[in-house]
Amino acid sequence: MNEHQIDEQDVRIFSGQSHPALAQGIADYLGVPLEKTLFRRFSNDCTEVQLGASVRSRNVFIIQSLIKPVSEHLMELLIMLDIAQSAGAKSVHAIIPYYSYARSDKKDAPRISIIARLVANLLATAGSTHVMTMTLHSPQVHGFFSVPTDVLTARTIIGQFFMERDLGKTVVVSPDMGHAKPAARFADMLHLPVIAANKERISDTEVRISDFLARQVRNKYQRALVYDDEISTGGSIVEICKVLARNGVQDIIPICTHGVFSGSALERLGKIPQITEVVTTDTVPPPHPKNTPFKLTVIPVAPIFGEAIWRNYTRQSIGGLFSYGNETELLD
């Protein structure tokens, strides 16, 4: 019997269309079925969703990553939350492994929306009583939610992946000062030094790296683990890896929680011969294999979400699985 099994008569797990493989992995971890959901599109292009099992007086978990097409998948999620709440669910949990709107976390130009806050409000309005996600772009996004929200981390399982390796002459590099704390926590797990680059963003695809990083690594390290929350276009990571390569680092491993890899990101990384491996998780569906010279390692996060859901359901602490802080737990 699965030690994490919960009462399948009391729990319903549903998936949107963005990442059914991850939803199935979470359901398997908990030993409960992934219930069917019917998706239809009307002739006027409106979406209709029907949950395939009764949710009345049950704890409902709806799993949906906000990946492309983001607006479509967000609308699906809102509809599913509304269905569960309207059908008398005891609790409605929005499980969002990748909360893409977390990058829209501040008003840094006139007449724009803080969309991370807007979407958080929409989730509560639609009926969610609890939100669970992983590694938000910035800590303040957590405060945008008006319902209890758990922000989990993949730092522990990624750290476990590297613990068996020889990490002599290795440094952990944060792409910018804003992500220095998570990188420092990761470095502390592996007993490695950490350096934060000084980055200026020119556009969504272009950044400028100051000379500070070059001075810190020049001919000092053989390997660098570039630790970030997300790789999308790859602009930041590519520029940082170029600086590292020019200054004597021969083995570069970019690491991220959310491997979005939009556009030609993987091809851009593949043009840097010092990149030997890219490590990510499956909070978004992994990309199809490409002809890149490096190894792409994808670490599953279903056990983390499954464990957090089980502890939430059984009223146990999940503090050791949180994104913030140094007290992380090793999972079997």
Catalytic residues: 199
Cα–chain-centroid distance for residue 208?
A: 25
Please give the Cα distance from 250 to 138 (Å, whole number). 31
8 Å CB contact between 68 and 103: no
Structure tokens at 166: 């020889």
The tokens 């929409």 sit on which residue?
Answer: 122
Q: Which residues of 108-143 are buried (b: 16+ CB within 10 A; e: fewer)?
A: eeeeeebbbbebbebbbebbbbbbbbbbbbeeebbe
The tokens 């409902």 sit on which residue?
Answer: 60
Neighbouring C-beta atoms of residue 4, cutoff 10 Å? 17
List of residues 6+ apart from 254 with CB closer than 8 A: 226, 228, 231, 237, 241, 269, 275, 278, 279
According to DSSP, the residues that pair with 40 across neighbouring strands are 48
**Phi and psi, residue 25, nearest 5°:** -65, -40
In eight-state DSSP terms, residue 139 is: G
